Chains A and B, each alone.
Chain A
Protein backbone atom coordinates (compact mmCIF):
# COMPACT_ATOMS: atom_id res chain seq x y z
CA UNK A 1 0.00 0.00 0.00
CA UNK A 2 1.11 3.53 -0.69
CA UNK A 3 1.57 6.24 1.91
CA UNK A 4 2.28 9.95 1.53
CA UNK A 5 3.94 12.32 3.97
CA UNK A 6 3.72 16.07 3.82
CA UNK A 7 6.16 17.54 6.26
CA UNK A 8 4.76 21.02 6.70
CA UNK A 9 1.21 21.23 8.01
CA UNK A 10 1.12 25.02 8.24
CA UNK A 11 3.28 27.43 6.28
CA UNK A 12 3.10 31.21 6.50
CA UNK A 13 4.94 33.30 3.93
CA UNK A 14 5.00 36.89 2.77
CA UNK A 15 4.11 37.81 -0.78
CA UNK A 16 6.98 37.38 -3.25
CA UNK A 17 8.68 34.78 -1.06
CA UNK A 18 9.71 31.49 -2.60
CA UNK A 19 7.79 28.37 -1.72
CA UNK A 20 8.75 24.75 -1.38
CA UNK A 21 6.34 22.19 0.07
CA UNK A 22 7.72 18.76 0.80
CA UNK A 23 6.12 15.48 -0.21
CA UNK A 24 7.53 12.00 0.26
CA UNK A 25 5.84 8.75 -0.60
CA UNK A 26 6.40 5.10 0.06
CA UNK A 27 5.40 2.36 -2.33
CA UNK A 28 7.04 -0.74 -3.65
CA UNK A 29 6.36 0.01 -7.30
CA UNK A 30 6.15 2.88 -9.74
CA UNK A 31 3.73 5.65 -8.93
CA UNK A 32 1.94 8.56 -10.50
CA UNK A 33 2.26 11.76 -8.50
CA UNK A 34 -0.13 14.66 -8.12
CA UNK A 35 -0.47 17.97 -6.36
CA UNK A 36 -4.00 19.22 -5.74
CA UNK A 37 -4.99 22.61 -4.33
CA UNK A 38 -8.11 23.58 -2.44
CA UNK A 39 -8.79 27.31 -2.29
CA UNK A 40 -11.05 28.50 0.54
CA UNK A 41 -14.61 27.42 -0.14
CA UNK A 42 -13.72 25.62 -3.35
CA UNK A 43 -13.18 22.02 -4.41
CA UNK A 44 -9.94 20.16 -5.00
CA UNK A 45 -8.27 21.19 -8.25
CA UNK A 46 -5.28 19.62 -9.97
CA UNK A 47 -2.14 21.78 -9.91
CA UNK A 48 0.14 19.36 -11.73
CA UNK A 49 0.87 15.68 -12.24
CA UNK A 50 3.74 13.37 -13.07
CA UNK A 51 3.35 10.06 -14.87
CA UNK A 52 6.65 9.63 -16.69
CA UNK A 53 9.30 11.52 -18.64
CA UNK A 54 10.87 14.79 -17.54
CA UNK A 55 10.94 14.71 -13.74
CA UNK A 56 10.43 18.47 -13.59
CA UNK A 57 6.79 19.18 -14.27
CA UNK A 58 5.12 22.53 -14.63
CA UNK A 59 1.57 23.16 -13.58
CA UNK A 60 -0.89 25.97 -13.45
CA UNK A 61 -0.35 29.36 -11.79
CA UNK A 62 3.44 29.16 -11.94
CA UNK A 63 3.80 26.03 -9.81
CA UNK A 64 6.27 23.29 -10.58
CA UNK A 65 7.35 20.06 -8.94
CA UNK A 66 10.35 17.81 -9.23
CA UNK A 67 10.20 14.05 -8.94
CA UNK A 68 13.36 12.67 -7.37
CA UNK A 69 13.05 8.91 -7.56
CA UNK A 70 16.02 8.18 -5.30
CA UNK A 71 14.48 10.27 -2.53
CA UNK A 72 10.86 9.18 -3.13
CA UNK A 73 10.04 12.87 -3.22
CA UNK A 74 7.80 15.17 -5.25
CA UNK A 75 8.26 18.64 -3.79
CA UNK A 76 6.13 21.54 -4.95
CA UNK A 77 7.77 24.88 -5.70
CA UNK A 78 6.88 28.39 -6.73
CA UNK A 79 9.52 31.11 -7.03
CA UNK A 80 7.31 34.00 -5.94
CA UNK A 81 4.01 33.47 -4.14
CA UNK A 82 0.98 35.72 -4.24
CA UNK A 83 -1.74 36.40 -1.70
CA UNK A 84 -4.12 34.40 -3.92
CA UNK A 85 -2.01 31.27 -3.34
CA UNK A 86 -3.46 30.99 0.16
CA UNK A 87 -4.98 27.51 0.15
CA UNK A 88 -4.65 23.91 1.27
CA UNK A 89 -2.18 21.87 -0.81
CA UNK A 90 -2.37 18.10 -1.08
CA UNK A 91 0.17 15.68 -2.47
CA UNK A 92 -1.28 12.40 -3.78
CA UNK A 93 -0.12 9.20 -5.46
CA UNK A 94 -1.55 6.17 -7.19
CA UNK A 95 -0.05 3.13 -8.81
CA UNK A 96 1.44 3.74 -12.25
CA UNK A 97 0.10 0.47 -13.62
CA UNK A 98 -3.45 1.75 -13.35
CA UNK A 99 -2.85 4.96 -15.23
CA UNK A 100 -4.75 7.67 -13.45
CA UNK A 101 -7.62 5.33 -12.64
CA UNK A 102 -6.59 3.86 -9.30
CA UNK A 103 -7.74 5.41 -6.05
CA UNK A 104 -5.51 8.21 -4.85
CA UNK A 105 -3.59 8.12 -1.58
CA UNK A 106 -3.34 11.62 -0.14
CA UNK A 107 -1.01 13.31 2.27
CA UNK A 108 -2.46 15.25 5.21
CA UNK A 109 -2.19 18.55 3.39
CA UNK A 110 -0.32 21.78 3.96
CA UNK A 111 -2.22 24.90 4.90
CA UNK A 112 -0.44 27.79 3.18
CA UNK A 113 -1.12 31.35 4.26
CA UNK A 114 0.34 34.22 2.26
CA UNK A 115 0.50 37.51 4.10
CA UNK A 116 0.23 40.68 2.01
Chain B
Protein backbone atom coordinates (compact mmCIF):
# COMPACT_ATOMS: atom_id res chain seq x y z
CA UNK B 1 0.00 0.00 0.00
CA UNK B 2 1.38 3.46 -0.88
CA UNK B 3 2.63 5.47 2.08
CA UNK B 4 3.38 9.06 2.97
CA UNK B 5 7.04 9.51 3.82
CA UNK B 6 8.70 12.27 5.81
CA UNK B 7 12.29 13.40 6.25
CA UNK B 8 14.14 13.79 8.47
CA UNK B 9 12.77 11.54 11.19
CA UNK B 10 14.42 13.73 13.83
CA UNK B 11 15.72 17.28 13.52
CA UNK B 12 17.58 19.13 16.23
CA UNK B 13 18.08 22.87 15.79
CA UNK B 14 19.05 25.95 17.71
CA UNK B 15 16.47 28.57 18.61
CA UNK B 16 16.20 31.19 15.88
CA UNK B 17 17.32 28.87 13.10
CA UNK B 18 15.22 28.02 10.06
CA UNK B 19 14.10 24.45 9.50
CA UNK B 20 12.46 22.75 6.53
CA UNK B 21 10.50 19.56 7.04
CA UNK B 22 9.82 17.44 3.99
CA UNK B 23 7.00 15.16 3.00
CA UNK B 24 6.51 12.97 -0.05
CA UNK B 25 2.76 12.53 -0.59
CA UNK B 26 1.07 9.48 -1.97
CA UNK B 27 1.17 9.70 -5.75
CA UNK B 28 -1.90 11.34 -7.32
CA UNK B 29 -3.17 12.72 -4.02
CA UNK B 30 -4.47 16.26 -4.34
CA UNK B 31 -4.66 17.61 -0.78
CA UNK B 32 -1.76 17.99 1.62
CA UNK B 33 -1.72 18.79 5.31
CA UNK B 34 0.60 19.53 8.20
CA UNK B 35 -0.28 18.73 11.80
CA UNK B 36 1.80 18.94 14.93
CA UNK B 37 1.74 17.21 18.31
CA UNK B 38 3.53 18.81 21.23
CA UNK B 39 4.59 16.16 23.73
CA UNK B 40 1.66 15.12 25.90
CA UNK B 41 -0.85 17.18 23.95
CA UNK B 42 -3.30 16.53 21.16
CA UNK B 43 -2.57 16.43 17.45
CA UNK B 44 -3.30 19.92 16.08
CA UNK B 45 -4.10 20.95 12.53
CA UNK B 46 -1.75 23.55 11.05
CA UNK B 47 -2.52 23.97 7.36
CA UNK B 48 -4.01 22.37 4.29
CA UNK B 49 -2.78 22.88 0.73
CA UNK B 50 -4.60 22.28 -2.53
CA UNK B 51 -3.96 23.32 -6.10
CA UNK B 52 -0.69 25.01 -5.12
CA UNK B 53 -2.16 27.26 -2.50
CA UNK B 54 -3.19 27.21 1.13
CA UNK B 55 -6.86 26.24 1.43
CA UNK B 56 -7.20 26.37 5.21
CA UNK B 57 -4.97 27.27 8.14
CA UNK B 58 -5.28 27.33 11.91
CA UNK B 59 -4.40 30.15 14.26
CA UNK B 60 -1.17 28.30 15.05
CA UNK B 61 0.02 28.76 11.47
CA UNK B 62 1.37 32.30 11.82
CA UNK B 63 3.87 34.24 9.71
CA UNK B 64 6.82 32.16 10.82
CA UNK B 65 5.37 29.14 9.01
CA UNK B 66 5.15 28.59 5.27
CA UNK B 67 4.38 25.67 2.99
CA UNK B 68 5.16 24.93 -0.60
CA UNK B 69 5.41 22.18 -3.14
CA UNK B 70 8.54 23.31 -4.96
CA UNK B 71 9.05 20.46 -7.40
CA UNK B 72 5.60 18.92 -7.75
CA UNK B 73 6.50 16.03 -5.49
CA UNK B 74 7.86 17.14 -2.11
CA UNK B 75 5.56 19.10 0.18
CA UNK B 76 7.52 21.20 2.66
CA UNK B 77 6.88 23.03 5.90
CA UNK B 78 9.32 25.84 6.70
CA UNK B 79 9.64 27.39 10.12
CA UNK B 80 11.55 30.64 9.65
CA UNK B 81 12.88 31.34 13.12
CA UNK B 82 12.32 28.45 15.47
CA UNK B 83 11.27 28.93 19.07
CA UNK B 84 11.51 26.53 21.97
CA UNK B 85 7.76 25.99 21.83
CA UNK B 86 8.01 24.72 18.25
CA UNK B 87 9.46 21.49 19.62
CA UNK B 88 6.92 18.84 18.59
CA UNK B 89 6.19 15.96 16.26
CA UNK B 90 5.15 17.26 12.87
CA UNK B 91 2.94 15.01 10.78
CA UNK B 92 2.25 15.33 7.09
CA UNK B 93 -0.99 13.90 5.71
CA UNK B 94 -2.34 13.57 2.19
CA UNK B 95 -5.76 12.89 0.72
CA UNK B 96 -6.88 11.68 -2.67
CA UNK B 97 -9.65 14.26 -2.99
CA UNK B 98 -11.56 12.62 -5.81
CA UNK B 99 -14.25 11.12 -3.58
CA UNK B 100 -16.40 12.82 -0.98
CA UNK B 101 -15.55 10.29 1.69
CA UNK B 102 -11.80 10.33 1.34
CA UNK B 103 -9.37 9.53 4.13
CA UNK B 104 -6.30 11.48 5.18
CA UNK B 105 -3.21 9.27 5.22
CA UNK B 106 -0.51 10.22 7.69
CA UNK B 107 3.24 10.02 7.48
CA UNK B 108 5.46 8.76 10.31
CA UNK B 109 6.29 12.26 11.52
CA UNK B 110 9.37 14.39 12.09
CA UNK B 111 10.41 15.01 15.66
CA UNK B 112 11.66 18.61 15.90
CA UNK B 113 13.71 19.54 18.93
CA UNK B 114 14.55 23.23 19.39
CA UNK B 115 17.36 23.93 21.85
Q: Does A28 contact B (CB under 8 A)?
A: no
Chain A residues lying within 8 Å of B33, measured Cβ to Cβ, are: 103
Chain B residues lying within 8 Å of A44, measured Cβ to Cβ, are: 43, 91, 93, 106
Contact yes or no, B56 A107, CB < 8 A? no
Chain B residues lying within 8 Å of A99, measured Cβ to Cβ, are: 99-102
The interface centre, meaning the residue of B45, B95, B109 with most chain A CB atoms within 10 A of its CB, is B45
Taking Cβ atoms with an 8 Å cutoff, the residues of B that contact A are 4, 31, 33, 35, 41-45, 47-48, 50, 55-56, 58, 91, 93, 95, 97, 99-109
How many residues from A make CB contacts under 8 Å with B? 23
Q: Which residue of A lies closest to B45 (CB)?
A: A103
Chain B residues lying within 8 Å of A90, measured Cβ to Cβ, are: 42-43
Contact yes or no, B102 A107, CB < 8 A? no
Q: Does A68 contact B (CB under 8 A)?
A: no
Q: Does A42 contact B (CB under 8 A)?
A: yes
